[in-house]
Amino acid sequence: MAGTRGVDYNLLVALRALLAERNVTRAAAAVSMSQPAMSAALARLRTHYGDDLLLRTGRSYELSPLGLELLPQVVAALDSVAGALDPWATFDPATSTRRFTVSGSDYALAVVLEPLLAAVHRQAPGVTVDFDPVPMPGGDHMGHLLRRDLMIAAMGYDFPGRRQVVFSDRFVCVVAADNPRLRDGRLTLADVAELPHVAAFGGHAPTPADDVLLEAGVVPRVEVTVQGLLAVPFTVSGTDLCAFVPERLLRRCPPSLGLAVAELPLEDPELAEAAYWHPSRHADPSVRWLRDVLAGVSTALDDEMRDARS
């Protein structure tokens, strides 16, 4: 690795874009550079570090181990420089045209998207919020957080970053209302063990409901898998399938699905969804404002569920 003497510190901007985007074309667009200029910057950075930084895998790129290590350092360094140059930076939601990016599971977005957008637009009519899917557990979530303002995902999957709880929920067991095993609105554990099940997330990410069933000695007989939770109740409708879905999600399903919530001799499995953000964004006044708006939405969601259950 070369020393720091004679280094063009503008390369840090290119380095951050390259490491965050993992693509020369997208990195160039992110910082308004031409693609040849970004390619030249990547070549200089590779020479400086004596490392490829970006490794081609098929048609895409992955970060080298050094690239992964550098990413949070470069983000923190540039944020620190920006803060030193403009320590009085503020965020005025009433006049801002800021564009936020929020990731979330299909279930989390089904719950928070409408009230969050309504609250944002009341306070900040010029602000835009883009939503995209949250990656599956086990991926590069720290790198994902660097490219997003917030990520809303279930707690318990070791997602990195700082967090605040958004809302809690519980899983309920659902079957078609005419399922012959449903007696007086109840299913036995034997019924649950023998009925075919729908598993969310392709069956690769166990939910709290799976953990509760296993503790009761029940191993679900998975017959169908879907990606995410939103498709689960629609998959159960009109079949002999059984599934566990969050209560908040079920309340948003149309009555025409013909579903019934089955009582079980078990405690309802609890879950909590949280907002996560990268530590480098903790002091960002705009992201702090968005977290405050989300906290207000959280309180309203809790009140709504309390009223629905009473």
For 118-129, the pLDDT digits (tens) are: 999 999 999 999
Joined together, the tokens standing for residue 265 give 């001799």
| Predicted pLDDT at 16 | 87
CATH code, domain carrying 29? 1.10.10.10
Least confident of 32-36, 123-127, 234-238: 32-36
- 189 and 153 together in one domain: no
151-170 average pLDDT score = 82
More confident residue, 57 or 298: 298
| Predicted pLDDT at 88 | 43
Q: For residue 259, tell me if it sits in a domain.
A: yes
| Predicted pLDDT at 72 | 83
- 207 and 239 together in one domain: yes
More confident residue, 3 or 309: 309
Residues 157 and 243: their CA atoms lie apart, in Å, by: 21
CATH code, domain carrying 224? 3.40.190.10
Residues 6 and 37: their CA atoms lie apart, in Å, by: 19
Q: Is the pLDDT of residue 166 over 50?
A: yes
| Predicted pLDDT at 136 | 62
**Taking all residues of the chain, what is their mean pLDDT, rounded to a whole number?**
85
Q: For residue 220, tell me if it sits in a domain.
A: yes
Joined together, the tokens standing for residue 188 give 């036995």
Q: For residue 125, tell me if it sits in a domain.
A: yes
- 194 and 260 together in one domain: yes
24-42 average pLDDT score = 86
Q: Is the pLDDT of residue 60 over 80?
A: no
Report the percent of the chain where pLDDT is more than 70: 88
Q: Is the pLDDT of residue 15 over 70?
A: yes
- 190 and 259 together in one domain: yes
Q: Is the pLDDT of residue 143 over 80?
A: no
**9 pLDDT band (50/70/90 cuts)?**
low
- 126 and 154 together in one domain: yes
The CB density around residue 230, as the number of other CB atoms within 10 Å, is 18
| Predicted pLDDT at 296 | 92
Question: 3-state DSSP: the chain helix, strand, coil percent, rounded to 5?
Answer: 45, 20, 35
139-147 average pLDDT score = 65
Q: Is the pLDDT of residue 250 over 60?
A: yes
Least confident of 7-16, 118-127, 131-140: 131-140
For 286-305, the pLDDT digits (tens) are: 999 999 999 999 988 888 77
173-201 average pLDDT score = 93
User: 58: domain range?
Assistant: 11-85
- 179 and 221 together in one domain: yes
| Predicted pLDDT at 104 | 87
Secondary structure (3-state) at 87:
coil
| Predicted pLDDT at 185 | 92
Q: Name beta bridge partners: 103.
A: 132, 151
Residues 30 and 8: their CA atoms lie apart, in Å, by: 19
Residues 107 and 245: their CA atoms lie apart, in Å, by: 10
- Return the DSSP state at 203: G
Q: Do residues 30 and 101 touch, judged by C-beta distance below 8 A?
A: no
Domain count, the chain: 3
**Concatenated DSSP letters of 109-134:** HHHHHHHHHHHHHHH-TT-EEEEEEP
